[in-house]
Structure 1
Amino acid sequence: MIIDFANLTKAYQEHKENIDRAINDVVSTSRFIMGEEVKQLETLLEEYTGAKYAISCSSGTDALLLGMMALDVEPGDEIITSPFTFIATAETIAFLGAIPVFVDIDESTYNIDVNRIEEKITKRTKVIMPVSLYGQVADMDEINELGRKYKITVIEDAAQSFGATYKGKKSCNLSSIGCTSFFPAKPLGCFGDGGALFTNDEQLSDKIKSMRVHGQTQRYFHKYIGMGGRLDTIQAAVLLEKLKHYENDVKRRQDVAKQYDQNLKDIVITPFIKEDNTSVWAQYSIRVKNRDNIQAILKEKGIPTAVHYPKPLHLQECFEYLKYKKGDFPISEKVSDEIMSLPMNPYVTDQEINYITKQIKSLL
């Protein structure tokens, strides 16, 4: 049995006719930049999340950059975040000359440990940036309360959690700014790079919209230092078609996760979803000992796996200048050594799940 990890081909084939038509409409009219589909998508994203303003952009990484730029993050500012995430979270902080300040994770959810944030707040703290990892939202109420207490803005890095809920409210609409990614392998993915920001603040929205087109307020008149951060119209057209079916895709992901849980719950450490949360299952990640050996054997049996993430950010070579060392964030380090993601997409079959879990059980 050969199993597809993300099954992007099936995701395309399922809606091929409508997606092809949407792409061809853009090509035939040559509305490649800021075409009508971009605005249509933003309107639907606002309706979906409940946020007043959705601003599409060129990637999830650029969404984080634009959010911090709109808040006037400057060199020397401190941004509190997690060391257990994709590098873009901290990379964008460093890119602006700000200082990533890491806080270890909760071992059950793998999101930032809210009980450890306050001790890292200083007079230079400009932003708290929790990551909603693997599809589950971080503890936003407690984080927002800290933001209010110390007058610090909260940005949710929701690159993996678009569509997830937290106490009945959608991810991306839980703080001053939410940022997400539409990278092809995300739960809602386009056919290249894409992302979006969300806010309920009209001034922030206007500023972000300006900054994604080089800080223009009108053509060739520049109020801000900005960037070329627009979402291509073709990607907007693809997302418009895929968004129509997204709730069903999320439900199918949840069904896959439930079956994994049932088959593996007494065998390995399976994902923990808090009672007030729902996950969109960007990944289904278990924890195992002897991970490299297990991965190699599973690969021989046609089962792809991945590691999200094998080395926490504080130990990455590019962040040596921050002077962190091994042992500074022991939970992140422990999880990085054990975490392993299984095939997760709406098309994983019962037969495939049973095969995958049977092979894992045989190795433990």
Structure 2
Amino acid sequence: MTENRLATVLDRKVPFNDLSIQWQQIAVDVRQDFEMIFEQSAFCLGPFVERFEADIAQYLGVRHAIGVNSGTSALHLAALAKGIGPGDEVIVPAHSFIATLWGVLYAGATPVFCDVEPTTGNLDVAAAERCVTAATKAIIPVHLYGQSANMKAVMELAQRFGLAVIEDAAQAIGATWQQRYLGSIGDLGCFSFYPGKNLGAAGEAGLIVTNDDDVAKQVRSLRNHGQSERYVHQIVGYNCRMDGLQGAVLRRKLPRLAAWTASRRKLAERYRQKLLETPLVLPSVQYGEHVWHLFVVRTPERDRLRAALAERRIETGLHYPIALHKQPCLNHLPSAKLSFPSAEAWAAECLSLPLFTGMTEDQVDYVADAIRALC
């Protein structure tokens, strides 16, 4: 698109996300569910959460799916359920959202950063292996932006050193590796249903999945004040229950997830084709089936390009502009003093383009044309 043609469409706006499109598809059903929830006072856990747990366990092919109040809580309770605590080390990638390591810190353990792959931004397993010590108890592969980490290498590393594997699948609901859904491969899988996720709640919600009966029992107790039965508290627990309202919303959205994911894949491929001849580093699909929670490009001119797109009313995001070992609250960690070149490069160059359920091909074309004119 020429600059003159761009000038004729500057009154347009492309949002980074538009959640109202999803709401329009589920509004009638959810309003009926909400009436039932209020009539039954089924606000905390209850039948709507139980139905969602059953549905998503079947979808993911796991024995147990336990709804919680956020993806952060999922990671916290997963760490506790695997007995992770003071004196233990847990390997985490240096490029991710900070919630990846909150659960490790909440459990009293020490996150150990490792670098990420230059091509995917996911955990570099060779780098992770160099981090293993006698104190290492677990590894948290993050399926960043909706693509699997190298789970073959992760599982081989975990088996070799006797490590627990906690999958951070917060951005990867519906993504697969070797025909298995992410989250179902390690000891536990953790999901976020923050509203902007591919499967988003109407507020905060999360999920823990596992095929281990004992771990599932432990997680269910941990999320509900440590209760084994009402008013019998066998362990120190937490209030991490999923709301009935969130269970209802998620259950109505789940049957639509496959179609929404197919649409994301189609739009992502359109971006890839239209941006091939630009100097941008485009997302690289290396492992499994990507669900494109985010479409993240890289360029040393990130800030200039972002500002120019904003002038054209194109919203973008930064996921994530500060590597974890550079975060001020984490500078006390021993590994925070090290250098992780790939993670630092991702942080300096990443730019997330608009991609959401209900986005049109015309909107993708408008964004891509603007980028081509600016690069």
For the aligned pair, the TM-score class normalised by the smaller chain equals over 0.9
1:344 to 355, 359, 368: 355
1:326, CA displacement in angstroms?
Answer: 7.2
The DSSP-based 3-state class of the residue aligned with 2:91 is strand
Q: What is the match of residue 263 of structure 1? A: 274
- Contact persistence 1:54–1:198 (CA under 8 A): yes
**Match for 1:212: what amino acid?**
R
CA deviation vs aligned residue, 1:117-146 (integer Å, no higher than 9, x gap): 111111111111110000001111211111
Is 1:128–2:135 an aligned residue pair? no
- Contact persistence 1:188–1:243 (CA under 8 A): yes
Please list every run of 5 or more consecutive structure 2 residues that lacks an aligned counterpart in the other structure: 1-11
* RMSD of equivalent CA atoms: 1.2
- Contact persistence 2:330–2:336 (CA under 8 A): no
CA deviation vs aligned residue, 1:319-341 (integer Å, no higher than 9, x gap): 11014567710000011111000
Q: What is the match of residue 282 of structure 1? A: 293
Distance of 1:336 and 1:127 partners within structure 2: 25
The DSSP-based 3-state class of the residue aligned with 2:111 is strand
1:115 to 126, 145, 148: 126
Please list every run of 5 or more consecutive structure 1 residues that lacks an aligned counterpart in the other structure: none
Q: What is the match of residue 237 of structure 1? A: 248
Q: What is the match of residue 330 of structure 1? A: 341
**Match for 1:272: what amino acid?**
S
Distance of 2:348 and 2:337 partners within structure 1: 13
The worse-fitting range, judged by mean Cα deviation, of 74-83 and 316-325 is 316-325
1:76, CA displacement in angstroms?
Answer: 2.0
CA deviation vs aligned residue, 1:277-300 (integer Å, no higher than 9, x gap): 111111000012221121111111
**Match for 1:76: what amino acid?**
G
CA deviation vs aligned residue, 1:144-166 (integer Å, no higher than 9, x gap): 11111111110000000011011
Distance of 2:296 and 2:34 partners within structure 1: 34
Distance of 1:74 and 1:165 partners within structure 2: 30
The DSSP-based 3-state class of the residue aligned with 2:331 is helix
Is 1:88–2:99 an aligned residue pair? yes
Distance of 1:300 and 1:326 partners within structure 2: 38
Equivalent residues in 2 for 1:1-364, closer than 5 Å: 1-267=12-278, 268-274=280-286, 276-324=287-335, 328-364=339-375
Provide the identity percentage: 36
The DSSP-based 3-state class of the residue aligned with 2:316 is coil
- Contact persistence 1:256–1:346 (CA under 8 A): no
**Match for 2:56: what amino acid?**
L
Distance of 1:199 and 1:279 partners within structure 2: 22
The DSSP-based 3-state class of the residue aligned with 1:64 is helix
- Contact persistence 1:135–1:279 (CA under 8 A): yes
**Match for 1:350: what amino acid?**
E
- Contact persistence 2:54–2:65 (CA under 8 A): yes
The DSSP-based 3-state class of the residue aligned with 2:332 is helix
- Describe the shift of the 1:341–1:46 C-alpha distance in structure 2 as closer, same or farther (beyond 3 A): same
**Match for 1:270: what amino acid?**
L
1:116, CA displacement in angstroms?
Answer: 1.4
- Contact persistence 1:106–1:112 (CA under 8 A): yes
Structure 1 segments of 4 or more deviating over 2 A?
A: 323-327
**Match for 1:248: what amino acid?**
A
**Match for 1:199: what amino acid?**
T
Distance of 1:148 and 1:260 partners within structure 2: 38
CA deviation vs aligned residue, 1:170-221 (integer Å, no higher than 9, x gap): 0110111000001000000010000000111000000100110011101111
Q: Provide the TM-score with structure 2 as the length reference.
A: 0.95
1:19, CA displacement in angstroms?
Answer: 1.9
The DSSP-based 3-state class of the residue aligned with 2:236 is coil
Q: What is the match of residue 5 of structure 2? A: none
